[in-house]
Amino acid sequence: MGEIVLARIDDRLIHGQVMTAWLQFTGGNHIVIVDDATAGDEFTKSIMSMAVPNGIKLSILGIADGSEVLRSVPDNEKIIILAKEPQTYLALIENGVQLDEVIIGGMGARKNRQTFYKNISASEEEKEAFRQIIAHHVKMKIHVIPDQGSQAIEGLL
């Protein structure tokens, strides 16, 4: 049976850190982006597909389809899930997707967000989603790149 090797919150979804450090660190061979807006944008999807190395499968799905795919990871697949917001992970969990851990990699400053930890920002709604994810017995931590330390977020809330 396959496995989910990384579940990461990152505003940028696919970028250099994911394609180099995290892909190598996890041994992932299938990237699943779960984001309703991205799944509905053919131009963005085509740009993202060009950023993925040969031999790595890419699926860009909305929450409903993503939940269905992720509930039964096919044999031999090591899935990296990428989403822009914690609310997406909360919806996946509530739709029956089993996750052990969600990491926060990149949540930049934007309207309604305040500094949460160093260069990570979060809105009150996002912090509430963090709490609810943790209440589902899913670990959450900030972990920007694999060779740097991580920070559990429970104490930051």
Q: Across all residues in the chain, what is the average pLDDT? A: 93
The yes-or-no verdict on residue 117 having pLDDT over 80 is: yes
The yes-or-no verdict on residue 20 having pLDDT over 90 is: no
- Rounded to two decimals, the pTM is 0.94
Q: Residue 132: its pLDDT value, please?
A: 97
Superfamily of domain 3-152: Phosphotransferase system, sorbose subfamily IIB component (3.40.35.10)
Distance (Å, whole) CA 151 – CA 80: 20
Q: Which residue has the higher pLDDT, 16 or 125?
A: 125
The backbone torsions φ and ψ at residue 47, rounded to the nearest 5 degrees and listed phi first, read -65, -45
pLDDT tens for 59-90 read 999 999 999 999 988 889 999 999 999 999 99
